[in-house]
A and B are shown apart, each in its own frame.
Chain A
């Protein structure tokens, strides 16, 4: 559905050339739900805008929905739905009119567009608001209207740029559910960008982690966590001597072992089964642990192990 090779974009700021996207290769198969995760300024939106023909690539190629973005932009536009970071619906218009006119832009007949708009308003819980002007809606309602807009022409491939930005946690969770549900119902390929870890974790089958214009890791959230971060067991021992003995005993069964004071930290695979096993081994060696804590990693740990920064630090920078 999406294939890019060496896709890159430079921006000229003053006299310097800023390499926003440094030549990335992406492959997305039909039906996949892929999340592009990275801090602000990593190049997510720039990449998305190149894939959706709203920004000209500096180098490289991109084929989207079977068409080259440079050679056949109109065919790409016809095939995709795009929900940008801003509000696609204009604040001065009424929701239903924006939906119908948008459908007409894609060649739908007036009758088909009106029927589809009514269907989507129902689906997204906006049925009672068809004639409200968009400026009078709440942020969450406006975002749902944007999503309805992106779905009007039944695209096989949907791009969402930071779909939940500006929403409160409650609305964010609702939106994530909505996306999963719509995809199950409509069977679309979805490519979204986000800098919210939970969103990528909860939604995506595959995550591409982007930092400083480059894709630095790709895989399912579970894979990434297992291979790049690992589960962490923290054991509180009686004293430093006991901690060192415990570390020596457990070294073989953990990927990484560190001791600090009376605390032993183990990095293991499949922590949920490793934890009871570890405690039994310690008991058998007469080195009982006073406390034990298991921490399942998040994608933030993955990002940290890849870049040495947490996503939040990277966002703040």
Chain B
């Protein structure tokens, strides 16, 4: 299957610079800790957080957020490659198109494993309980989601070629409403009815719910199932949109 082997080849190439300069990922690792340190105490002080401890509720949200930020940046690295010229030569190489996007998205997802581990280590003393199997399943769902978001970000960068500001405008405008309307940072249960209504059509809502369930060590398939479906659907839509965008420009 050229899709899997090509994905691996693209992923290896994309990941190389991390090993040249091991200090660059330090900042991306610090980011979730900043959110935890600044938002965590506020959330912990908010009444009505469901579950055994507010951290059990909050940590999965942070993990989803970090993956969202990382993968939606896939296109920004592409913009750089489009300017210098290396994107063009990759488009002319005999690589599976979906594999190009998947490999690039996975490179943004890979640090999540390390980021997740750090978050968990830091939070353990505060009463956060780790359920390893649930956490792993949760990360797998996020990887699938990330492929979809990465591909969408890639398509957005292609479509906004020559208008870099457009990429950032769209990315930022979409990211924050999606994030807030999924109950990722603050619970929506006490929110106004319209917010709860919108959140039911936001695929991220189902993913956040699934992550919370899995990170709590519960394998409630009626909650996890819709999350898996939402992640797979995002990946399918993302890759389709990405491939169509590529086809519009190239052969």
- A244 contacts partner chain B, Cβ-Cβ < 8 Å: no
The residue that B13 contacts in the complex, of A74, A86, A101, with Cβ under 8 A, is A101
A150 to B230, CA, bound (A): 41
What is the CB-to-nearest-CB distance from B20 to chain A, in angstroms, rounded to a whole number? 7
**Contact indicator A70/B251 (Cβ below 8 Å):** yes
Instruction: Report the count of interface residues on B (CB-CB < 8 A).
Output: 25
B250 within 8 A of A: yes
Partner-contacting stretch, out of A18-26, A52-60, A183-191, A283-291: A52-60
B92–A52 touching, CB < 8 Å: yes
Contact yes or no, B84 A84, CB < 8 A: no
Q: Which residue of A lies closest to B10 (CB)?
A: A105
Contact of A55 among B12, B90, B94, B250 (CB under 8 A): B250
New A-B contacts (6) at CB < 8 Å, excluding given A77-B93, A149-B89: A54-B250, A86-B83, A87-B84, A92-B20, A97-B13, A98-B13
- Once the chains are docked, how many angstroms separate the CA of A54 from the CA of B249? 7
CB contacts (< 8 Å) of B81 on chain A: these are 90
Tell me if A86 and B84 are in contact (CB < 8 A). yes
Query: Is A5's CB within 8 Å of the partner chain B?
Result: no
Q: Are A93 and B251 in contact (CB under 8 A)?
A: no
Q: State the main secondary structure of chain B at its contact with A.
A: helix
Tell me if A85 counts as interface (CB < 8 A to partner B): yes
Question: Which residues of B line the A interface, CB within 8 A?
Answer: 6, 9, 12-13, 16-17, 20, 81, 83-86, 88-95, 247-251
Q: Do A84 and B89 touch across chains, with their CB atoms under 8 A apart?
A: yes
User: Does A102 reach chain B (CB closer than 8 Å)?
Assistant: yes
A92 CB contacts on chain B under 8 angstroms: 17, 20
Number of residues of chain A lying within 8 A (CB) of chain B:
36
CB distance from A13 to the nearest CB of B (A): 12
A202-243 contacts to B (CB < 8 Å): none
Complex Cα distance, B92 from A86, in Å, reads 14
- B residues less than 8 Å from A69 (CB atoms): 251
Question: Which residues on the B side are within 8 Å of A53 (C-beta)?
Answer: 91-92, 250-251
A102 engages B20 (CB within 8 Å): no
Residues of A with C-beta under 8 A to B88: 54, 82, 84, 86, 88
| A140 at the B interface (CB under 8 A) | no
A-B residue pairs, 6 tightest by C-beta: A86-B85, A88-B89, A101-B13, A77-B94, A73-B251, A90-B86
B9 touches A104 (CB 8 A): yes
Contact present for B93 and A102 (CB under 8 Å): yes
- Is there contact, CB below 8 Å, between A78 and B94? yes
Q: Chain A residues with Cβ under 8 A from B92's Cβ?
A: 52-54, 77, 80, 82, 84
Residues of A within 8 A of B (CB): 52-56, 69-70, 73-74, 77-78, 80, 82-94, 97-98, 101-102, 104-107, 133, 149-150
Chain B residues with Cβ below 8 Å from A83 are: 89
- Given A73-B251, A74-B94, A105-B94 in contact, is the A94-B89 Cβ separation under 8 Å? no
CA distance A52 to B94 in the complex (A): 11
Q: Is the CB of B85 within 8 A of A87?
A: yes
Known: A84-B89, A87-B86, A90-B86. A56 touches B251 (CB 8 A): yes
**B93→A106 contact, CB < 8 A:** yes
Bound state CA distance, A149 and B13, in angstroms? 14
Residue of B nearest to A84 (CB): B88
The residue in chain A whose Cβ has the minimal distance to the Cβ of B85 is A86
**In this complex, what residue of B is CB-closest to A105?**
B93
In the complex, which residues of chain A have a beta carbon less than 8 angstroms from the beta carbon of B248? 56
Q: Is the CB of A91 within 8 A of B84?
A: yes
Offer 26 A-B interface pairs, CB within 8 angstroms, sorted by A.
Answer: A53-B251, A54-B91, A54-B92, A54-B251, A56-B247, A56-B248, A56-B249, A56-B250, A73-B251, A77-B92, A78-B94, A82-B88, A82-B89, A84-B88, A86-B84, A86-B88, A87-B86, A101-B16, A102-B89, A102-B93, A105-B90, A105-B93, A105-B94, A106-B94, A107-B94, A150-B89
Give chain B residues whose Cβ lies under 8 Å from the Cβ of A101: 9, 12-13, 16
Q: Is the CB of A93 within 8 A of B9?
A: no
Which of A82, A105, A133, A149 lies in contact with B20, CB distance below 8 A?
Answer: A133
User: CA of A196 to CA of B247 in the docked complex: distance in angstroms?
Assistant: 33
B16 touches A94 (CB 8 A): yes
Q: Inside 8 A of B93's CB, which chain A residues have their CB?
A: 77, 102, 105-106
Residues of A within 8 A of B85 (CB): 84-88
Instruction: Return A171 CB to nearest CB of chain B, in Å.
Output: 18
Please indicate the chain A residues that have their CB under 8 angstroms from the CB of B13 in the complex: 93, 97-98, 101
Shortest distance between the CB of A9 and any CB in chain B (Å): 12
Closest Cβ of chain A to B176, distance in Å, is: 29
Interface residue from A74, A85, A89, A105 paired with B9 (Cβ < 8 Å) = A105
